[in-house]
Chain A
Amino acid sequence: MKVSDIVRILDGRLVCGDNRSDYTIDVAFASDLMSDVLTLVNDNVLLITGLANLQTIRTAEMSDINCIVFARNKKVSQEMVSLAEESGISLIECRYSVFRTCGLLYQAGVKPVY
Protein backbone atom coordinates (compact mmCIF):
# COMPACT_ATOMS: atom_id res chain seq x y z
CA MET A 1 0.00 0.00 0.00
CA LYS A 2 1.22 3.47 -0.88
CA VAL A 3 1.88 6.08 1.79
CA SER A 4 -0.66 8.34 0.05
CA ASP A 5 -3.36 5.64 0.45
CA ILE A 6 -2.60 5.33 4.16
CA VAL A 7 -2.98 9.09 4.56
CA ARG A 8 -6.35 8.96 2.76
CA ILE A 9 -7.72 5.97 4.75
CA LEU A 10 -6.75 7.55 8.06
CA ASP A 11 -7.84 11.05 7.03
CA GLY A 12 -4.37 11.95 8.23
CA ARG A 13 -1.78 14.58 7.42
CA LEU A 14 1.54 13.80 5.77
CA VAL A 15 3.92 15.96 7.79
CA CYS A 16 7.07 15.08 5.92
CA GLY A 17 7.99 12.91 2.98
CA ASP A 18 5.83 14.59 0.28
CA ASN A 19 8.34 13.47 -2.31
CA ARG A 20 8.03 9.86 -1.16
CA SER A 21 4.22 9.42 -1.14
CA ASP A 22 4.53 6.68 -3.77
CA TYR A 23 6.63 4.64 -1.38
CA THR A 24 4.87 1.39 -0.53
CA ILE A 25 4.71 -0.53 2.74
CA ASP A 26 4.09 -4.28 3.05
CA VAL A 27 3.20 -4.81 6.69
CA ALA A 28 2.28 -2.88 9.83
CA PHE A 29 3.23 -3.02 13.49
CA ALA A 30 1.60 -1.16 16.39
CA SER A 31 3.53 -0.41 19.58
CA ASP A 32 4.43 2.33 22.02
CA LEU A 33 7.47 0.45 23.28
CA MET A 34 10.56 1.16 21.27
CA SER A 35 12.43 -1.95 22.49
CA ASP A 36 9.53 -3.94 21.08
CA VAL A 37 9.88 -2.19 17.72
CA LEU A 38 13.62 -2.87 17.79
CA THR A 39 12.97 -6.63 17.78
CA LEU A 40 11.53 -6.50 14.24
CA VAL A 41 13.54 -8.00 11.42
CA ASN A 42 11.21 -7.16 8.50
CA ASP A 43 11.78 -4.38 6.00
CA ASN A 44 9.13 -1.95 4.70
CA VAL A 45 7.24 -1.90 8.00
CA LEU A 46 4.71 0.80 8.82
CA LEU A 47 4.94 1.75 12.49
CA ILE A 48 1.72 2.84 14.21
CA THR A 49 2.34 4.49 17.57
CA GLY A 50 1.09 7.02 20.07
CA LEU A 51 4.61 7.78 21.27
CA ALA A 52 5.68 11.02 19.65
CA ASN A 53 9.21 12.03 20.56
CA LEU A 54 12.70 12.01 19.11
CA GLN A 55 13.27 8.43 20.24
CA THR A 56 10.44 7.24 18.01
CA ILE A 57 12.32 8.65 15.01
CA ARG A 58 15.66 7.26 16.25
CA THR A 59 14.08 3.82 16.68
CA ALA A 60 12.70 3.94 13.13
CA GLU A 61 16.14 4.95 11.87
CA MET A 62 17.82 1.99 13.59
CA SER A 63 15.12 -0.47 12.44
CA ASP A 64 15.01 0.74 8.83
CA ILE A 65 11.38 1.80 9.20
CA ASN A 66 10.46 4.34 6.54
CA CYS A 67 6.98 5.44 7.56
CA ILE A 68 5.39 6.23 10.95
CA VAL A 69 1.74 6.97 11.77
CA PHE A 70 1.33 9.03 14.95
CA ALA A 71 -2.14 8.21 16.23
CA ARG A 72 -4.01 9.70 19.23
CA ASN A 73 -3.81 13.14 17.65
CA LYS A 74 -0.11 13.40 18.53
CA LYS A 75 1.73 16.31 16.98
CA VAL A 76 5.10 15.99 15.37
CA SER A 77 7.70 18.58 16.45
CA GLN A 78 10.03 20.45 14.10
CA GLU A 79 12.99 18.59 15.64
CA MET A 80 11.32 15.27 14.82
CA VAL A 81 10.75 16.38 11.22
CA SER A 82 14.40 17.38 10.79
CA LEU A 83 15.63 14.07 12.14
CA ALA A 84 13.14 12.13 9.99
CA GLU A 85 14.15 14.03 6.85
CA GLU A 86 17.81 13.11 7.48
CA SER A 87 16.88 9.43 7.29
CA GLY A 88 14.15 9.66 4.65
CA ILE A 89 11.34 8.68 7.04
CA SER A 90 7.76 9.76 6.22
CA LEU A 91 5.61 10.96 9.12
CA ILE A 92 1.81 10.94 9.22
CA GLU A 93 -0.31 12.61 11.91
CA CYS A 94 -3.69 11.03 12.56
CA ARG A 95 -6.43 11.95 15.05
CA TYR A 96 -7.76 8.40 15.52
CA SER A 97 -6.86 6.07 18.37
CA VAL A 98 -4.26 3.36 17.73
CA PHE A 99 -7.15 0.89 17.91
CA ARG A 100 -9.12 2.57 15.14
CA THR A 101 -5.98 3.15 13.06
CA CYS A 102 -5.16 -0.57 13.21
CA GLY A 103 -8.77 -1.46 12.47
CA LEU A 104 -9.02 0.73 9.38
CA LEU A 105 -5.69 -0.37 7.92
CA TYR A 106 -6.33 -4.05 8.66
CA GLN A 107 -9.71 -3.73 6.97
CA ALA A 108 -7.99 -2.13 3.98
CA GLY A 109 -5.79 -5.20 3.63
CA VAL A 110 -2.54 -4.19 5.36
CA LYS A 111 -0.89 -7.34 6.71
CA PRO A 112 0.61 -7.80 10.19
CA VAL A 113 4.35 -8.32 10.67
CA TYR A 114 3.33 -11.54 12.45
Chain B
Amino acid sequence: MKVSEIVKALDLKVFSGSRGLEAEVSGGYVSDLLSDVMGNAEASQVWVTLQTHKNVMAVASLKDLAAVILVSGHRPDENTAAQSEEEGIPILGTGLSAFQVSGKLYELIGKK
Protein backbone atom coordinates (compact mmCIF):
# COMPACT_ATOMS: atom_id res chain seq x y z
CA MET B 1 0.00 0.00 0.00
CA LYS B 2 1.20 3.50 -0.85
CA VAL B 3 1.32 6.52 1.45
CA SER B 4 -1.16 8.30 -0.84
CA GLU B 5 -3.72 5.50 -0.39
CA ILE B 6 -3.45 5.87 3.40
CA VAL B 7 -3.87 9.64 3.09
CA LYS B 8 -7.07 9.04 1.17
CA ALA B 9 -8.48 6.24 3.31
CA LEU B 10 -7.85 8.04 6.62
CA ASP B 11 -8.57 11.52 5.29
CA LEU B 12 -5.17 12.87 6.38
CA LYS B 13 -3.83 16.35 5.80
CA VAL B 14 -0.56 16.58 3.84
CA PHE B 15 1.64 19.23 5.50
CA SER B 16 4.83 18.69 3.51
CA GLY B 17 7.02 16.28 1.60
CA SER B 18 4.38 15.38 -1.01
CA ARG B 19 7.19 14.10 -3.25
CA GLY B 20 7.17 10.95 -1.11
CA LEU B 21 3.45 10.16 -1.36
CA GLU B 22 3.99 7.28 -3.78
CA ALA B 23 6.35 5.42 -1.41
CA GLU B 24 5.31 1.92 -0.35
CA VAL B 25 4.36 1.34 3.30
CA SER B 26 5.38 -1.82 5.17
CA GLY B 27 3.52 -1.18 8.44
CA GLY B 28 2.99 1.26 11.28
CA TYR B 29 5.00 2.32 14.31
CA VAL B 30 3.56 4.37 17.17
CA SER B 31 5.97 6.15 19.53
CA ASP B 32 6.73 9.52 21.06
CA LEU B 33 10.23 8.56 22.16
CA LEU B 34 12.82 9.30 19.51
CA SER B 35 15.37 6.85 20.88
CA ASP B 36 12.76 4.10 20.73
CA VAL B 37 12.00 4.86 17.10
CA MET B 38 15.75 4.89 16.38
CA GLY B 39 16.09 1.50 17.98
CA ASN B 40 12.92 -0.29 16.94
CA ALA B 41 11.16 1.18 13.91
CA GLU B 42 11.71 -0.52 10.56
CA ALA B 43 12.23 0.92 7.10
CA SER B 44 9.11 1.96 5.16
CA GLN B 45 6.90 2.11 8.24
CA VAL B 46 4.55 5.01 8.86
CA TRP B 47 5.39 6.67 12.18
CA VAL B 48 2.50 7.89 14.33
CA THR B 49 3.47 10.51 16.96
CA LEU B 50 2.64 13.88 18.46
CA GLN B 51 6.26 15.05 18.50
CA THR B 52 6.66 18.00 16.17
CA HIS B 53 10.24 19.19 16.56
CA LYS B 54 13.00 18.98 14.01
CA ASN B 55 14.66 15.82 15.34
CA VAL B 56 11.57 13.92 14.19
CA MET B 57 12.67 14.32 10.57
CA ALA B 58 16.26 13.39 11.36
CA VAL B 59 15.02 10.12 12.85
CA ALA B 60 12.53 9.50 10.01
CA SER B 61 15.27 10.01 7.48
CA LEU B 62 17.86 7.84 9.26
CA LYS B 63 15.35 5.01 9.57
CA ASP B 64 14.03 5.38 5.99
CA LEU B 65 10.45 5.72 7.21
CA ALA B 66 7.70 6.17 4.63
CA ALA B 67 5.84 9.03 6.37
CA VAL B 68 5.07 10.68 9.71
CA ILE B 69 1.51 11.12 10.97
CA LEU B 70 1.05 13.87 13.57
CA VAL B 71 -1.95 13.14 15.77
CA SER B 72 -4.40 15.19 17.89
CA GLY B 73 -4.27 18.18 15.54
CA HIS B 74 -0.55 18.84 16.01
CA ARG B 75 1.28 20.72 13.27
CA PRO B 76 4.95 20.44 12.31
CA ASP B 77 7.36 23.18 13.40
CA GLU B 78 8.52 25.32 10.51
CA ASN B 79 11.95 23.77 10.19
CA THR B 80 10.51 20.28 10.62
CA ALA B 81 8.30 20.88 7.58
CA ALA B 82 11.24 22.31 5.64
CA GLN B 83 13.31 19.24 6.35
CA SER B 84 10.43 16.98 5.31
CA GLU B 85 10.36 18.76 1.95
CA GLU B 86 14.08 18.30 1.59
CA GLU B 87 13.97 14.60 2.44
CA GLY B 88 10.80 13.87 0.49
CA ILE B 89 9.28 12.16 3.54
CA PRO B 90 5.69 13.36 3.95
CA ILE B 91 4.39 14.80 7.21
CA LEU B 92 0.69 14.04 7.48
CA GLY B 93 -1.83 15.22 10.03
CA THR B 94 -5.07 14.19 11.71
CA GLY B 95 -7.30 15.45 14.47
CA LEU B 96 -7.73 11.87 15.68
CA SER B 97 -5.86 10.51 18.68
CA ALA B 98 -2.91 8.12 18.26
CA PHE B 99 -5.10 5.22 19.45
CA GLN B 100 -7.79 5.77 16.87
CA VAL B 101 -5.61 6.55 13.88
CA SER B 102 -3.46 3.52 14.72
CA GLY B 103 -6.55 1.35 15.02
CA LYS B 104 -7.70 2.46 11.58
CA LEU B 105 -4.22 2.09 10.08
CA TYR B 106 -3.93 -1.41 11.51
CA GLU B 107 -7.24 -2.34 9.92
CA LEU B 108 -5.99 -0.94 6.65
CA ILE B 109 -2.54 -2.50 6.47
CA GLY B 110 -2.52 -5.06 9.26
CA LYS B 111 0.47 -6.86 10.85
CA LYS B 112 3.48 -5.66 12.94
Direct contact of A and B (CB under 8 A): yes
Interface majority SS on B: helix, strand, loop or mixed? mixed
A99 to B27 Cα, complex, angstroms: 9
Interface majority SS on A: helix, strand, loop or mixed? mixed
Q: Mark each residue of chain A from 90 to 109: 1 if its CB lies under 8 Å from any CB of chain B, else 0.
A: 00000001111011111100
A31 at the interface (CB under 8 A from B): yes
Extra contacts, 6 of them, besides A28-B99, A72-B36, A99-B102 (Cβ < 8 A), are A32-B33, A99-B105, A99-B112, A102-B30, A103-B106, A113-B99
Q: Mark each residue of chain B from 84 to 108: 1 if its CB lies under 8 Å from any CB of chain A, else 0.
A: 0000000000001111101111110
Between-chain CB contacts (< 8 Å), 8 pairs? A31-B98, A32-B31, A33-B51, A50-B31, A72-B40, A97-B30, A103-B110, A113-B97
Chain A interface residue count, CB cutoff 8 Å, equals 24
- From 51 to 103 in chain A, residues with beta carbon under 8 angstroms from any chain B beta carbon are 51, 72, 97-100, 102-103
Q: Which residue of B lies closest to A32 (CB)?
A: B32
Contact B106 A33 (CB under 8 A): no
Number of A-B residue pairs, CB cutoff 8 Å, is 87
Residues of A within 8 A of B30 (CB): 30, 97-99, 102
Interface residues on B, range: 20 to 34
A40 to B24 Cα, complex, angstroms: 35
A33 to B34 Cα, complex, angstroms: 11
Residues of B within 8 A of A32 (CB): 31-33, 36
